Chain A
Amino acid sequence: MYRIRLHGRGGQGIKTASRILGTALFRAGFEVQDAPRYGAERRGAPIFAYVRADDKAICERGVIHRPDLVMVADDTLLDLTSANVLEGLSGSTALLINSNRSALHWCQRLQLPGPVTVLDGGAIGARAGRVPAGAVCVGAAARLLGVVSRQALLTAVAEELAGHGAAAVEASRQAVLQAYDQFSSEAGLVQRLQVAATPTAAAPPGWIELANEALPQAAATITAPATSRQVATGLWRTRRPQIDRQRCSRCGLCLNLCPEGCIDLDEDGFPVIDYRYCKGCLLCAAQCPRKAIRICEERAVQTEKPEGGES
């Protein structure tokens, strides 16, 4: 069986990527399962999707813990422990990263036992006309499997994106093909694990009967106020707004409009953004009447300040 795990951020078309890959494998004659993980699929938040393909009926279900191929559409996820990109990687797991950094860079940095390949999908997607990262990567992923023909892949793209119009299908087909062709020398890199590899399938369940919990435990109550402050949603951000105090007129509009409530005023009445929570919607920058909020690439800011300041 092929077990493939797809990682990306909400908005990068990861669910669609899993469908394209699933349909392409189906066209190639496999039994297929593809599904995104249901939960907080939020724009910018880490997203997971899973594809299984086998010659016979697939009885395994759920999350893939031991993948044969991991596709990462956004390399900033590798820095997020909550994205769990590296879970269950073994010496036989192929890792495909969408990045403008080299494979050598990632091999050295991640110290992984298995093969690492890199696709500069940003450039391909932009050339084809704003094709989402997930769709671009799927071309490379299909080639790494070595069992998906060009035709099966193109048919899958056309089928899955039909609702988005002919222009979107054409752009995606171009991008997918480019990634597919670029990976011709890596075809068949992914190894199929013959044995059931998820911990749930491998270990027989040791059931223990538990009595029903008392109501306070079963329907738990949160008694402390504002505990969401412990959730660092700032990790979603790929670009950050920065307030230019020289231009800011202290009108407070940004604070009023911020959906997250992560802007406060300091003692002098200047707005201060709490980057632990700012998701990077950049609505404040778009609305600032004095254009006093600049937009910076998060990666660039973090390289400057490796500690990651709060304001």
Chain B
Amino acid sequence: MSETKQSTQSRLAPGTPLCAGCGGLQAVQQLYRILGERTVVVNAAGCMTLLAIYPFTPFAGSWLYTAMACAPAGAQGVRDALDIQLAKGRISAEEDLSTVVLTGDGAAYGMGLSATSAAIDRGLDFLYLCYDNEGYGNTGHQYSPATPRAAHTATSRVAGFAGTKKDLFAIWAAHRPAYVATAIAAEPQDLARKVKRAAALRGPRLLIVLAPCPTGWGFEPALTVKVGQLAVETGIWPLKEYVDGRIVHNKIPRERQPLADYLRLQGRFAHLFEPQRDERRLAELQQAVDDYWREIAGNTRPSP
């Protein structure tokens, strides 16, 4: 691989206080290697708050911190300021920076959804990266609108989360922005291709990256990639893109692994296996995945 050719300027420096084995940081690392320091990262409150705690930052480029709900609004201000500077000739086109919003699922799926919706409506030229660790990870992993059904969190104990994971991809795609995709750092080539594709477009471009979280999900940090790969192979995290009004699935698992293989690795689902296997609930969760892919197969059948 050609990583040796990369300058250190386009790397996120080490020394951040994020958890060992963080699947979110892994994705941000991969993203930053492609976008580099010619960016303004607008970061809503969340785990990634910890990236830049004064006086330390891993970024070679700019970073701006906002409250939880308003990162896309912050990005609008940054974009407008840059555009004004460009129009007045104070900076050249080469000196222009791209605007990147970085938030967790709490902000993306919940508190910040309205600000994102409005930014897409205005056609803001920005790239949004949501690291989705399926809960409020930074405060002890309470449930969020991205928490999957039956997952144990600090606020859904005993039987686990009673709701279902919100389909943010569909919500974002319904706005008809330039680009929407799902990805995961455990599939680095797919993630890199999507970041490059998004970077080449203009307008609102949004990426949701599933971020396996050793701390909140309850698995050993060494298993972050394994858990991520299983999320794709079991079909619970479909890799897909929305572009030019069409949704394309990038990796349709030929034979999906049983969902239980993915769930069993994680402490947040331990109550489904101990003291005895909860066959009824496991079947219900498997059914939801099967239904999704059956619908996809139905939709894609006409195309050769």
Contact = CB atoms under 8 A, between A and B. Distances in A.
Interface of A: 10-11, 40-45, 163, 165-167, 220, 222, 225-233, 236-237, 251-253, 255-262, 265, 269, 274, 276-277, 279-283, 285-287
A43 B221 contact: yes
Contacts of A220: 54-55
Given A165-B275, A251-B1, A231 B222 contact: no
Interface stretch (B58-66, B121-129, B239-247, B292-300): B58-66
A125 B133 CA distance: 30
B17 A233 contact: yes
B20 A281 contact: yes
B185 interface: yes
B274 A256 contact: no
A172 B287 CA distance: 36
Given A167-B274, A255-B3, A256-B1, A233 B57 contact: no
Contact of A259 (B29, B54, B275): B29
Closest 3 A-B residue pairs measured CB to CB? A228-B15, A281-B21, A277-B14
B3 A252 contact: yes
A225 B222 contact: no
A163 B270 CA distance: 11
A257 B188 contact: yes
A48 to B, nearest CB: 15
B146 interface: no
B25 A259 contact: yes
A228 B274 contact: no
A239 to B, nearest CB: 10
Interface in B236-272: 270-271
Interface in B1-32: 1, 3-4, 8-9, 11-23, 25-26, 29-30
Contacts of B8: 226
Given A167-B274, A228-B56, A43 B20 contact: yes
Contact of B13 (A228, A259, A282): A228
B56 A259 contact: no
B158 interface: yes
B91 to A, nearest CB: 18
B162 to A, nearest CB: 15
A269 B56 CA distance: 30
B215 interface: yes
Interface in B211-226: 214-215, 220-226
A222 B25 contact: no
Given A220-B55, A251-B1, A228 B224 contact: no
B161 to A, nearest CB: 14
B221 A42 contact: no
A169 B9 CA distance: 50
A283 B14 contact: no
B157 interface: yes
A281 B17 CA distance: 13
B57 A265 contact: no
Nearest to A39: B17
Contacts of B4: 265, 269
B115 interface: no
Interface string B151-178: 0100001100000000000000000000
30 contacts: A42-B18, A163-B152, A165-B275, A220-B54, A222-B52, A225-B59, A226-B8, A226-B13, A228-B14, A228-B15, A231-B56, A233-B14, A233-B16, A236-B20, A253-B1, A255-B1, A256-B30, A257-B186, A257-B225, A259-B23, A260-B25, A261-B11, A261-B12, A261-B29, A276-B14, A281-B21, A281-B214, A281-B224, A283-B225, A286-B225
A245 B54 CA distance: 38
Contacts of A274: 14
Contact of B1 (A10, A226, A252): A252
B43 to A, nearest CB: 13
A36 to B, nearest CB: 9
Given A40-B50, A225-B57, A233 B215 contact: no
